[in-house]
Structure 1
Amino acid sequence: MPADPVSPRPLWALMYHSVADPADDPYRVTVSPGRLDRQLRWLRRRGLTGVPMERLLRARAEGRDAGLVGLTFDDGYADFLEAAVPLLKRYGHTATVFVLPGRPGGTNEWDPEGPRKPLLTEDGIRAAADAGMEIGSHGLRHTDLTTADDTLLAADTVHSRALLRTLTGREVTGYCYPYGAVDARAAAAVRAAGYGYACAISPGPLTGRFALPRVHVGERDTGPMLHLKRRLHRWRREPVPAVSHAYVTVASR
């Protein structure tokens, strides 16, 4: 397969996790509803629209991604539906939420420190999809794919996608690497499982359709900080390949 063409403009995607009280947050992955409200308003006032990753990549393939920002929420916390979705709707944004179909209604047991937070139930995942949000896979149970054996690697990619397709009745085109950990073997497994793209954090030389970089957003990120992160993004990230129309074929397998 020929290499994807490279766009000179870096694709900007923001990475969120939980939307709740950040007082007890040793990993700094929680944003308060008030802060998220101000961040989403900041995007809107600057003519930027937050969209799911699938929509962003399709727009990039068609040369229509100017003014679009990818919004992603990892781990599938229940507070996404309770706190994030109403705010996203208020400002005309949508997002991708990466969920764990092997832990419906469970908690973030992979975090050794900090409070236990509830995850979306199966009904919650369906409700998020019905609200216009893209549902992507975060694997079955939040496993680092770079340490997984072949059996677990297949289950985390193939089986998690099948579960979500059955659960939502919708195509599942996106995967997000737990912990942002990706290597060539993990990226190949995600591609082979039929996904159209995959999100990481800072994949370096692996940057591409199956290792998309994102910018972490936290409680301390005010408007000026977001502006700075946007300006610096061009220098801190590798250019992201534009998704060719082959994306549609791969994602629909």
Structure 2
Amino acid sequence: MPVSADSSRRTGTSSLEGPPWVAMYHSVGDTSDDPYRITVSPDRLDQQFGWLRRRGLRGMGMADLLAARARGEGRDLVGLTFDDGYADFVETALPLLRRYGFGATLFVLPGRLGGENGWDPLGPRKPLLSRQGIRVAAASEGVEVGSHGLTHVDLTRADDALLHAEVAESRALLAELTGAPVEGFCYPYGTLDARVVSAVRDAGYGYGCAIDPGPLTCLHALPRLHVGESDTPVRMLLKHKLHRLRRRPVEGV
């Protein structure tokens, strides 16, 4: 039975079954001190992008990917997302994206502009993008800028005022900064519940990215696969093939 247009918008499936395959990256750089496994080296990222191309797959940002799927297209597309807005996205990841002709979505923290990853108690301090860095990313062809909240807090523990600031106010600040609508939201730590998902939807976002949202999976809580330094071409192949076994989206959330 074909999926209706309204159902497609809610689940992100269109006529393609299940949620899209989305890779979750963070930092691109030195991996020698990386307790949270958030960093991939430039050489490994180059290798992973090359694997995608050899498989006939093309990386792109989430808004473009979801628009293609809504048209019943995009079987050869995968989502590329970079969380936290590290400065090395512009310095290192962006040149590789340009080399391969790929797009990506960069999720940033407008409450920490030019700051560092202070939410990580272990590991090295990593600089975050400044206002100018975010503008450079947003002006790059194929790059979408989305919100990761204001300051990277667990939204399931936030009161109503903090939740509104992290979700709605961050969207307004980013729209002012980039001069473009902000369609995507990414849940810090991947933590979410029905209340948080509703807040993201009510704030006007077109979609939301999680990690493994389980029964909450929907267009505003899309699953993603972590991709890191240990992901060789063989591991990438396995992750891509096993994607079909992930939980299918449900409606009504």
Query: Which TM-score tier does this pair reach, normalised by the shorter chain?
Result: over 0.9
1:194 paired with 2:209, answer no
Deviation at 1:240, TM superposition (A): 3.9
SS in 2 for 1:120: coil
1:60 paired with 2:69, answer yes
CA separation in 2, counterparts of 1:188 and 1:18? 29
Deviation at 1:66, TM superposition (A): 1.1
Give per-residue Cα distances to partners, 1:125-144, cap 9 Å, x unaligned.
00001112100000000011
CA separation in 2, counterparts of 1:104 and 1:189? 23
RMSD of aligned Cα (Å): 1.5
1:119-198 aligned within 5 A: 119-132=128-141, 133-198=143-208
SS in 2 for 1:11: coil
CA separation in 1, counterparts of 2:51 and 2:249? 24
CA separation in 1, counterparts of 2:154 and 2:54? 38
Letter aligned with residue 196 of structure 1:
G
Give per-residue Cα distances to partners, 1:135-180, cap 9 Å, x unaligned.
0000000011100000000001110000000000011000000000
What is the TM-score normalised by the length of structure 2?
Answer: 0.92
CA separation in 1, counterparts of 2:158 and 2:232? 37
1:95-110 aligned within 5 A: 95-110=104-119
CA separation in 1, counterparts of 2:98 and 2:41? 17
Give per-residue Cα distances to partners, 1:188-211, cap 9 Å, x unaligned.
000000000000000000000010
Q: Which residue of 1 aligns with 2:90?
A: 81
Deviation at 1:238, TM superposition (A): 1.5
CA separation in 1, counterparts of 2:53 and 2:159? 44
What is the TM-score normalised by the length of structure 1?
Answer: 0.92
Work out the number of aligned pairs and report it: 241
CA separation in 2, counterparts of 1:229 and 1:238? 14
**Percent same amino acid among aligned pairs?**
62
Deviation at 1:24, TM superposition (A): 0.2
> Which stretches in structure 1 are left out of the alignment for 5+ residues?
243-253
Deviation at 1:241, TM superposition (A): 6.7
Give per-residue Cα distances to partners, 1:54-76, cap 9 Å, x unaligned.
01111111011110000000000
1:113 paired with 2:133, answer no
Q: Structure 1 130/144 Cα, relative in aligned 2: closer, same or farther at 3 Å?
A: same
CA separation in 1, counterparts of 2:119 and 2:61? 26
Q: Which residue of 1 aligns with 2:3?
A: none
Checking the alignment, whether the CA contact within 8 Å between 2:19 and 2:223 is kept in structure 1 is no
Deviation at 1:9, TM superposition (A): 4.3
Give per-residue Cα distances to partners, 1:219-251, cap 9 Å, x unaligned.
01011100000111111x112479xxxxxxxxx
